[in-house]
Amino acid sequence: MHILLVEDDAALAASIAGALQAQGWRVDVSERGEPVPRSLAQDAYDLLVLDLGLPGIDGLETLRRVRESGWLQPVLVLTARDGIDDRVAGLETGADDYMCKPFAPAELVARLRALVRRHEHRRAGVLALAALRFDAQGLRAWVGEQPLALTARESVVLQYLMAKAGQIVSREQLTALVPGWAGAASDNALELLLSRLRGKIEPAGVRLRTVRGLGYLLEAAAPDGR
Ligand code: CA
């Protein structure tokens, strides 16, 4: 794997680069965001690890330019600010995952491996998150090797949530998936469906979070289950 790491703290960059190189991965480090879109266009990078607090243009603006340039590989955002606002902004701008500093290098390595796996599965038409898999062609889902019994509506909603894993999905986006579910009358039906879905998928090590006022977020559960 070839990774571009954007981090202006030289000591932290060296420690992260060391952990990634220990996996046999190639790592290039940039201290600033401005040259990043060009670097990604010039070299075949598999992943971008991007600090948000940078001199010059910040990480969010860098990410916006990267996605605008059409680069589609996974991006993991590093942030010292653990506020929900930064996290939401990062995910909405096109990050696939984020980590709050300080973090253990081993956890970063695990997150990056998971990101790449998810990306490869997605290209093969199979959506995967933790032990949850969804075959978009056959509309079938599994928790580990165990097939999951889903209603047609649950299938459609789960497929959408998995395709957008790590991103916030609004209530309107979800209700639009089900014919005849437009308008406020559908809110209770959606809540009910999501609560049944949670019971079915959370044993796979995923979490379907309610993000107040914004919508829902499907993500891998933290190792401690939170
Ligand atoms: Ca920084």
Tell me, what's the pLDDT at 157?
93
Taking the C-alpha atoms of residue 222 and residue 22, their distance in angstroms, rounded to an integer, is 24
Ligand 1 center to 30 CA (angstroms): 11
Ligand 1 center to 91 CA (angstroms): 18
Going by DSSP bridges, is the β-strand pair 2-6/26-30 parallel, antiparallel, or unpaired? Answer: parallel
Tell me, what's the pLDDT at 81?
62
Ligand 1 center to 61 CA (angstroms): 14
Q: Which residue ranges does the chain devote to CATH 1.10.10.10?
A: 126-220
Tell me, what's the pLDDT at 80?
77
* In the predicted structure, residue 185 carries a pLDDT above the cut 70: no
Tell me, what's the pLDDT at 82?
62
List of residues 6+ apart from 115 with CB closer than 8 A: 47, 74, 76, 96, 97
Question: Over the stretch 213-225, which tens digit does the pLDDT of each residue have?
Answer: 899 999 988 765 4
Taking the C-alpha atoms of residue 15 and residue 12, their distance in angstroms, rounded to an integer, is 5
Q: Which residue ranges does the chain devote to CATH 3.40.50.2300?
A: 2-119
Ligand 1 center to 148 CA (angstroms): 43
Q: Confirm if 76 and 54 have CB atoms less than 8 A apart.
A: no
Ligand 1 center to 79 CA (angstroms): 8
Looking at per-residue pLDDT, the higher value among 57 and 121 belongs to: 57
Q: Confirm if 47 and 17 have CB atoms less than 8 A apart.
A: no
Q: What number does CATH give the domain 126-220?
A: 1.10.10.10
List of residues 6+ apart from 48 with CB closer than 8 A: 3, 4, 6, 36, 40, 66, 71, 73, 74, 75, 76
Q: How confident is the model at residue 84 (pLDDT cuts 50, 70, 90)?
A: low
Ligand 1 center to 186 CA (angstroms): 44
Token match 């009910």: residue? 192
Ligand 1 center to 8 CA (angstroms): 5
Q: Which of 5-14, 125-134, 136-145 has the highest mean pLDDT?
A: 5-14
Averaged pLDDT for residues 193-209:
95
Tell me, what's the pLDDT at 24?
95
Ligand 1 center to 50 CA (angstroms): 9
Ligand 1 center to 10 CA (angstroms): 9
Ligand 1 center to 54 CA (angstroms): 5
Ligand 1 center to 53 CA (angstroms): 4
Tell me, what's the pLDDT at 120?
79
Ligand 1 center to 104 CA (angstroms): 17
| pLDDT averaged over every residue in the chain | 88
Taking the model in full, what pTM does it have?
0.61
CATH classification of 2-119, choosing from 3.30.70.1880, 3.40.50.2300, 3.40.630.40, 3.30.1330.30? 3.40.50.2300
Tell me, what's the pLDDT at 182?
65
Tell me, what's the pLDDT at 197?
96
Tell me, what's the pLDDT at 139?
81
